[in-house]
Every structure is written in structure tokens, then in C-alpha cells.
Structure 1
Amino acid sequence: MIVNATNPKERATFSIDSTVKKRLDRAVPKSKRSSFVEYAIERALREAEKRKALAQIRAFKPYPPKGPGVVDTLDQVRVQRGEQLAASDRNK
């Protein structure tokens, strides 16, 4: 459950609901609470970052393609390459 053992630890003071505190006290041994809370906060922060990134992706306005699409471009490249190979075979 260790999030990052290499960084120095800092004391943090914050308030939580008394019911949540009692549940924490019952569920997690005193010697493990800091690691438990750090892990829970890290997970919550990652989830918040994911939600923010997803919101940014969803807000992205797609731009209509200019010129040929990917399939058309690949078809054109294949035709050109085929013509190059045929020409090189004729020159042998």
C-alpha cells in the first residue's frame, strides 16, 4: 500500500466527518492509517485527473478533414508503389 517511499513525508492537518473518522479508526490499525490515507488520497487524485482528462477529450471539437481521408491516401500510396515496382520490373 506504500505510494512512494522515496519522498519525504509531510504532516497534513485536515478535518473529516466524525463518522468517517470512527470508521477509519475501527477499520485500520493506528500504525497503518497514514499509509492508508495517503493511498486513498492518491487514488482519488488519479481518478479526478482521469475525469478531468476525459472531460477535456469530450470537449474537444473535431475538425472536418481537409483533403482525402486516410483510406483514400493509403489507396493512392499503394497504387503509386505498385506503379513504381512495375516500372522497375520492366527496366530489368
Structure 2
Amino acid sequence: MSLVEPVKKSTIPNKHQFPPPAVILEEQEEWEVAQFLDSNLKRGILWYLVEWKVINDAPERTTWEAASNLSNSQDLVKDFCTLYPEKSGPNTSRV
């Protein structure tokens, strides 16, 4: 018997499911960001929808990532915020 179960997809229309925070391991492979597609502020945490340049053997080419996991992509974050000022960004405050 396994304690791990597959995640069930949300049945709520337009509901985005966010992944859990990434676990950082020593010598973890770092992937290169192609572009940011969207952003969202959820429970005070800024998330970006990331399109990756190359992910070997990964089923997803795009994933939601916490901004705190994207410290090496600050130039792309600035570009995204310039192109889409209405989207959530580093200077977005909670209302």
C-alpha cells in the first residue's frame, strides 16, 4: 500500500492549481527560462507561469513557479513586468 496518491484535477472552472514549493537539492540541474507567460499573486506569494527552453524527459514544458525560485531570471522578470504592467509582479501589493 502506498501513501502517495495522484493529485486530482480541480473541477472548479478557471481554477489554477499551483505546485507545492520546490525542494532544493545539492547539485540540482538548473533549467533555462524561455519566457514568462502569466503571473498570479496567491496568498501573498508571487507565482509565474514559466515556459522552459529545454526540459529533458519532463511531461510539462510550462509550470507555475514561485518567484523566489527564479532568482537567476531577474532580467526576464523585468521584461515581463514592462510588457504586462497590469499583471502581478514584484511590486504588486495585496489589497
> TM bucket by the smaller chain?
under 0.3
What's the TM-score once normalised by structure 2's chain length?
0.19
* Structure of greater Rg: 1
What's the TM-score once normalised by structure 1's chain length?
0.20
Higher RCO (C-alpha 8 Å, min separation 6): 1
